[in-house]
């Protein structure tokens, strides 16, 4: 699960890094798993909905999200090449372990890519990373064995907005104590989901019929009593964990533990940042700190805004080894794991990203291993940037255009 943050402007990536991008200057505010657009700063003064549609334009029914590109238009895949890079190989092996689970076959085919084809492509690319003695050798082997596909982006020309997300670190308690009296909850037995796809089927108490899962307001009104996991010192801090889907918790006795994603009620997600921006509770960029300041000024109004988000997230306690966990159920890797729309893009595979991060060219191999509430179009992608204060600051500044490429073997396994 991703929690994208963003600065107040989206910059066009330098043409030496990303090709075929149309020049543009927009103001974009991004916060808490949703894009929050304040309007265009160009002379035309385009309305907010026009700017929102720029990156979140949905894929037309039946249209492909990926387009095969000729070798002459490939990205420079050996940029910053290192043989057998530890972090990338580690992330790739996690994808392979995911492909080995029988249930993962239910997510394929997608974009014409079968489960076997996607897995074999990860295996072969990992092999090339281990055995290629130079960037030139790696590129030659990749061009020999692989086809390259580009996301069509928001404009059918490959323009993708890359935001960033991070992992939260918060204070919490196992038992209610003092100000720590706002809980997050374990997944209840009454929540019924498809065991294969994870789709929420509804809510069923013992001996009763299956009904739609309750919304946030109903669940917070006593339905989950007895399933509390940890307590936070404000409703907002608990809500931020819901939006993020995981967190590193500092307990009062000095111990550290971790929350992992345990499912949702399947209800519609509504952005808190967008809501309080529209209500005038935040002025300027909508960041986590801006939302916290708004809550301190007017806790009742922000709490009402939180209630407008019917989506409710359940959690499980996990250990450091499996944290932070992405939507595929395993640990994501800083600057190596990417979140995209899993309804249109294949899961678990290698991608090559060209954009800017912290104002510097970012051309890097990653893996498509996560998703998020705002990531719902071919023109959106989210870079996992790590945990802690530095990662939070970096994610808060990340809002850059770029291009996204997928690589699959030319010869699909039979």
Q: How far is CA 359 from CA 17, 350, 394, in A?
A: 12, 24, 10
Residue 75 located in a structural domain: no
Average pLDDT, the chain: 86
Give me the number of domains the chain comprises.
Answer: 1
Residue 17 located in a structural domain: no
Residue 194 located in a structural domain: yes
Residue 124 located in a structural domain: no
Measure the CA angle with vertex 266, ends 345 and 104; round to 5°.
Answer: 40
Q: Are 274 and 308 in contact (CB under 8 A)?
A: no
E strands within 26-141?
26-31, 34-39, 66-68
Cis ω before 159 (30° cut-off from 0):
no
Between 23-27, 83-87, 359-363, the lowest mean confidence (pLDDT) is in 23-27
Q: What is the CATH number of the domain that holds 300?
A: 2.40.240.50
Give the pLDDT band (50/70/90) at residue 311. Answer: very high
Residue 212 located in a structural domain: yes
Is-above-0.85 flag for pTM?
no
Cβ atoms < 10 Å from Cβ of 84: 11
Residue 371 located in a structural domain: no
How large is the average pLDDT for residues 357-366? Answer: 96
pLDDT digits (tens, 9 = 90+) for 112-144: 999 999 999 999 999 999 999 999 999 999 999
Domain that holds residue 250: 167-322
How large is the average pLDDT for residues 137-165? Answer: 96
Alpha-carbon gap, residue 333 to 355, rounded angstroms: 18
Residue 64 located in a structural domain: no
Q: Are 376 and 134 in contact (CB under 8 A)?
A: no
Token pair 């669940």 in the structure block, residue: 219
The two tokens of residue 48 are 């907010």
Residue 380 located in a structural domain: no
Residue 209 burial (C-beta neighbours within 10 Å; 0-12, 13-18, 19+): exposed
Give the pLDDT band (50/70/90) at residue 2. Answer: low
Alpha-carbon gap, residue 197 to 243, rounded angstroms: 21
Closest by CA to 235, choosing from 290, 316, 305, is 305
If one compares 393 and 280, the residue with the highest pLDDT of the two is 280
């Amino acid at each position: 699960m991703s929690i994208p943050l963003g600065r107040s402007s989206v910059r066009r990536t330098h043409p030496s890094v990303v090709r075929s991008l149309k020049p543009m200057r927009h103001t974009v505010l991004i916060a808490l798993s949703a894009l929050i657009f304040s309007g265009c700063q160009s002379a035309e003064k385009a309305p907010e909905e026009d700017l929102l549609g720029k990156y979140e334009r949905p894929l037309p029914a039946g249209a492909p999200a990926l387009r095969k590109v000729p070798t002459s238009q490939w990205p420079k895949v050996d940029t910053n090449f290192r043989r057998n890079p530890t972090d990338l190989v580690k992330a790739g092996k996690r994808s392979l372990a995911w492909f080995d689970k029988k249930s993962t076959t239910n997510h394929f085919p997608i974009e014409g890519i079968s489960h076997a084809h996607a897995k074999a492509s990860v295996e072969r690319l990992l092999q090339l990373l281990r055995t290629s003695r130079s960037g030139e050798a790696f590129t030659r082997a990749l061009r020999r064995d692989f086809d390259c596909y580009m996301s069509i982006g928001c404009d059918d020309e490959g323009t993708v907005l890359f935001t960033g997300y991070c992992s939260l670190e918060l204070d919490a308690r196992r038992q209610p104590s003092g100000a720590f009296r706002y809980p997050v909850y374990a997944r209840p037995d009454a929540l019924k989901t498809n065991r294969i796809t994870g789709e929420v089927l509804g809510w069923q108490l013992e001996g009763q019929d299956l009904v739609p899962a309750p919304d946030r307001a109903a669940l917070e009104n006593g339905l989950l009593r007895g399933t509390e996991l940890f307590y936070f010192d404000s409703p907002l801090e608990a809500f931020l964990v819901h939006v993020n889907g995981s967190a590193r918790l500092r307990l009062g006795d000095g111990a550290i533990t971790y929350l992992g994603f345990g499912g949702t009620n399947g209800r519609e997600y509504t952005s808190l940042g967008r809501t309080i921006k529209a209500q005038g509770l935040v002025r300027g960029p909508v960041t986590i700190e801006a939302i916290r300041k708004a809550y301190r000024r007017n806790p009742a109004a922000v709490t009402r805004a939180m209630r407008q988000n019917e989506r409710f997230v359940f959690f499980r306690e996990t250990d450091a080894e499996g944290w932070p966990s992405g939507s595929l159920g395993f640990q994501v890797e800083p600057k190596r794991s990417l979140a995209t729309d899993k309804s249109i893009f294949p899961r678990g595979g290698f991608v090559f990203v060209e954009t800017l991060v912290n104002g510097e060219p970012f051309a890097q191999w990653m893996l498509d291993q996560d998703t998020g509430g705002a990531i719902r179009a071919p023109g959106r992608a989210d870079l996992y940037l790590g945990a802690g204060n530095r990662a939070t600051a970096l994610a808060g500044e990340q809002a850059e255009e770029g291009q996204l490429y997928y690589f699959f073997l030319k010869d699909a396994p039979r």
